[in-house]
Structure 1
């Protein structure tokens, strides 16, 4: 029997995991998923592992920390590895949630491990989101100085959605763990033994 109170958390975690996994396999693996686009040589899309030209379909070698001088900063492209790390932590959160979902006493037992891992996943995705925005802003300014326009891609919004879902899960799990599920109010007929 599945505890109905854990189903929304499970749905949010699975949604965040799917979004972060799609982000992980962005350009050049899946070409429609990219962070930003620049109108260089007919257009180029940038992802975690490289870039691809729109017209020719030619892509860079798949590597972390790719270079596009002078617009992209290699250290910022290397920090995009935090997206796959966040996806891994989200998967671990789903695995940790499974025993809680099937427990008959899920509402009585706190689950601090889920709170900790989901908080780490949210922090990791938040830092990665900030890095991807910083990367785009720096590149946009450098491209604009050369008269080249840029635009954001769908991955920015997908990672924002994953980050919001992980924030809801982390907050919910933390309040359930730290406040015993009652936001600090303890019922008189429930006792916790440690």
Structure 2
């Protein structure tokens, strides 16, 4: 038996996983996906694992926690590890949801494990997005003090999209699982006597 009520959550989780994986494998792996761009020497883009110059194609070594002195410090780029963590939690949420999709009793029994995982996934993604946005806004202010023009890249918007999708899944899972799908309504077979 297949539960059609869980399919939208599975599709939204899949879409958010794709967005988070693309974020994880950004510059210098995939040069068109970057968080931030600065107009230095023809342009330099910053990603998860390093930076690349636009004109020469020269890239930094692929490393976790790179620096660009004085605008980007190692602590700011190390906090980007929350994106792979959010992708991992999304994958675990999908793995927990898969048996629920094929259960005959999914509408009768709550699945609080999936609801808690969906909430944890959203919280991790929200922390990653917030820290990333703060990171790049701090870098932008530092670059602007040096007289360098900057712009945000497409990954900021992709991460916002993943955050919104995960919020929808977490809200749906929490209301559906923890409230047993009734959203505060009485079951039609329950009668109260006074």
Q: TM-score, normalised by structure 2?
A: 0.95
Aligned twin of 1:9: 9
Q: Report whether the alignment pairs 1:108 with 2:108.
A: yes
In structure 2, how many angstroms separate the alpha carbons of the residues matched to 1:178 and 1:3?
Answer: 18
Q: Deviations over 1:38-69 (max 9, x none)?
A: 00111001011111110111111111110001
Offset at residue 184 of structure 1 (A) = 2.1
2:31 is paired with a residue of what secondary structure? coil
Work out the CA distance in 2 between the residues paired with 1:110 and 1:186: 16
Structure 2 SS opposite 1:78: helix
CA drift at 1:3: 1.0
Q: Deviations over 1:94-151 (max 9, x none)?
A: 0000111011121111111111111111111111111111111111111111111110
User: Which residue is 1:175 aligned to?
Assistant: 175
**1:149 — aligned with what?**
149
* Offset, 1:186: 3.3
Shift of 1:188: 4.1
Question: Residue 37 of structure 1: SS of its match in structure 2?
Answer: strand
The corresponding residue for 2:20 is 20
Do 1:73 and 1:135's aligned partners in 2 also have CA atoms closer than 8 Å?
Answer: no
Structure-1 separation of matches of 2:85 and 2:49: 14
Summarize the alignment of residues 1-194 of structure 1 with structure 2, pairs less than 5 Å apart.
Answer: 1-189=1-189
> Matched residues in 2 for 1:19 and 1:42: separation?
28
* 8 Å Cα contact 1:38-1:151 kept in structure 2: yes
Per-residue CA deviation, residues 145-186 of structure 1 (Å, 9 max, x unaligned), is: 111111011100000000000011111111112111101223
CA deviation profile, 1:1-48 (whole Å, cap 9, x unmatched): 321111110110000000000100000111100001000111001011
Question: Please, which runs of 5 or more residues in structure 2 have no aligned partner?
Answer: none
Which is worse superposed, 172-181 or 82-91? 172-181
Instruction: Indicate if the aligned counterparts of 1:52 and 1:60 stay in contact, CA closer than 8 A.
Output: yes
The aligned length equals 190
Secondary structure at 1:151 match in 2: strand
178-187 or 33-42, which moves further after superposition?
178-187
Q: In 2, Cα distance between the equivalents of 1:44 and 1:173?
A: 41
Q: Which TM-score applies when normalising by structure 1? A: 0.95
Segments of 4+ in structure 1 off by > 6 A?
none
CA root-mean-square deviation: 1.1
1: CA distance between counterparts of 2:186 and 2:99? 24
